[in-house]
Amino acid sequence: MLSSLSSTIRTVFIGPPFIRAGKAHADGGLSKLAASFDDCVTREQLTKRKPDTRLKAPMIRRPTTDEAEALALQALAFLASEPERIEPFLSVTGLNPANLRQAAGEPGFLAAVLDHIGSSDSLLLEFAGNLRLNPEIVADARRVLAGPEPDDFS
């Protein structure tokens, strides 16, 4: 098989340039080149593939509904751990500490928590950094809980 491959390569890649350049001999001028080609190229060199060294971004798996809910509850705990974090959330949502627990059971509440976290880059990066998460996971979890936006085709 290697000899037929070598013959094909000689015919296709080596033959025509020598003929066009006016260097054709009785055997097409290929006997010397063919011998040196066979000596230089081994089967391993022809079949060995170099490893792909390009950097590839890791695939991020979209969280399940349970994982998204767990992340949102962690985000709520993160907000509640510091008064300067929870107060803006309470003022935006119109909630107070007394009815926060009741509101947590409402549909859409956990998505609103992740919306609030994602609305501030510093808050998002701090939250994601504490959990050692890629910040994109927070946005993916929000999409899982709230459903896709009307123009979101992912």
DSSP secondary structure of the chain: -HHHHHHHHIIIIIHHHHHHTT---TTTT-HHHHHHHHHH--HHHHHPPPP--S--PPPPPPPPHHHHHHHHHHHHHHHHTSHHHHHHHHHHHT--HHHHHHHTTSTTHHHHHHHHHHT-HHHHHHHHHHHT--HHHHHHHHHHHH---TT---
Q: Quick one: tokens of 136?
A: 């994109």
Residue 37: predicted pLDDT = 46
Residue 48: predicted pLDDT = 64
The one-character DSSP state at 106 is: S
35-66 tens-digit pLDDT: 444 445 555 555 566 665 666 555 667 889 99
CA-CA distance, 53 to 31, in Å (whole number)? Answer: 38
Residue 6: predicted pLDDT = 46
Residue pair 116/89 in contact (Cβ under 8 Å)? The answer is: yes
Q: Quick one: tokens of 84?
A: 């300067």
Report in angstroms the alpha-carbon separations of 118 from 17, 45, 131.
62, 52, 15
Q: Which amino acid type is present at position 125?
A: L
How long a stretch of residues is the chain? 154
Q: Which amino acid type is present at position 75?
A: A
> pLDDT under 70 in the chain at which residues?
1-60, 148-154
Residue 110: predicted pLDDT = 94
The pTM for the full model equals 0.58
Residue 148: predicted pLDDT = 65
